[in-house]
Structure 1
Amino acid sequence: MHKKTDLRILRTKQSIRKAFYELIQEKGYEAVTIQDIADRAIINRNTFYLHYQNKPDLLETCINELLSELKEAVVLCPVSTNPFSISILETVMTTVLEHISSHKTFYYAMLIEENRIYQFRTKMENIIKDKLNEGWNTDKVNVPLEISKELLLEYLVSAFMGIVIWWIKNDQPLSVEEASSQFSRIITYGHLKAAGSRVED
Structure 2
Amino acid sequence: MSRPRRDSRTLPAKDRMENAFWDLLADHEFSKITVTDVVRVADVNRNSFYYHFSGLPELADASILREVEHMPRPASPQAHMHLRPETEWRFYCTTMLEEPEQRQRLDRLALLTGPNSSNELMDSLRDFLRMTMMSILEIDTDSMDVKTSLLIDFSVGGILAVLQDWPRMRETITVDDLMSDDLALLTMSMYMAMSKESLRSYLGRVISADRAPMPNYMTATLGAPTFA
Q: TM-score range by the shorter chain?
A: 0.5 to 0.7
Q: 1:84 to 1:110 in 2, by over 3 A?
A: farther
Asked if the contact 1:93–1:180 (Cα under 8 Å) also holds between the matched residues in 2, the reply is yes
Is 1:66 matched with 2:64? no
Q: Distance in 2 between matches of 1:10 and 1:158?
A: 34
- Code of the residue aligned with 2:179 in structure 1: it is S
Q: Distance in 2 between matches of 1:120 and 1:38?
A: 23
Asked if the contact 1:167–1:174 (Cα under 8 Å) also holds between the matched residues in 2, the reply is no
Q: Distance in 1 between matches of 2:130 and 2:87?
A: 19
- Code of the residue aligned with 2:37 in structure 1: it is D
Query: Which residue of structure 1 aligns with residue 109 of structure 2?
Result: 107
Asked if the contact 2:133–2:152 (Cα under 8 Å) also holds between the matched residues in 1, the reply is no
- Code of the residue aligned with 1:61 in structure 2: it is A
- Code of the residue aligned with 1:80 in structure 2: it is H
Question: Identity of counterpart residues, as a percentage?
Answer: 18
SS at match of 1:115: coil
Equivalences for 1:41-190 in 2 at 5 Å? 41-70=42-71, 73-76=72-75, 79-81=79-81, 85-97=85-97, 98=99, 100-115=102-117, 117-118=121-122, 119-125=124-130, 127-128=132-133, 155=154, 157-175=156-174, 177-181=175-179, 185-186=182-183
Query: Which residue of structure 1 aligns with residue 144 of structure 2?
Result: none
Asked if the contact 1:125–1:161 (Cα under 8 Å) also holds between the matched residues in 2, the reply is no
SS at match of 1:60: helix
Q: 1:36 to 1:157 in 2, by over 3 A?
A: closer
Residue 18 of structure 1, CA deviation:
2.0
Q: Distance in 2 between matches of 1:22 and 1:130?
A: 29
Q: TM-score, normalised by structure 2?
A: 0.54
Gaps of 5+ in 2: 139-146, 187-228
Query: Which residue of structure 2 aligns with residue 38 of structure 1?
Result: 39
> Number of aligned pairs?
168
Query: Which residue of structure 2 aligns with residue 26 of structure 1?
Result: 27
Q: Distance in 1 between matches of 2:116 and 2:152?
A: 26
Q: Deviations over 1:105-155 (max 9, x none)?
A: 532333334515212134225545776x68xxxxxxxxxxxxx77766655
Moved more, 19-28 or 152-161: 152-161
Gaps of 5+ in 1: 135-147, 190-201
Asked if the contact 1:110–1:120 (Cα under 8 Å) also holds between the matched residues in 2, the reply is yes
Q: Distance in 2 between matches of 1:5 and 1:12?
A: 7
- Code of the residue aligned with 1:112 in structure 2: it is G
Q: Deviations over 1:16-47 (max 9, x none)?
A: 22221121222222221101112222333223
Residue 57 of structure 1, CA deviation:
1.9
Residue 7 of structure 1, CA deviation:
2.9
Residue 159 of structure 1, CA deviation:
3.7
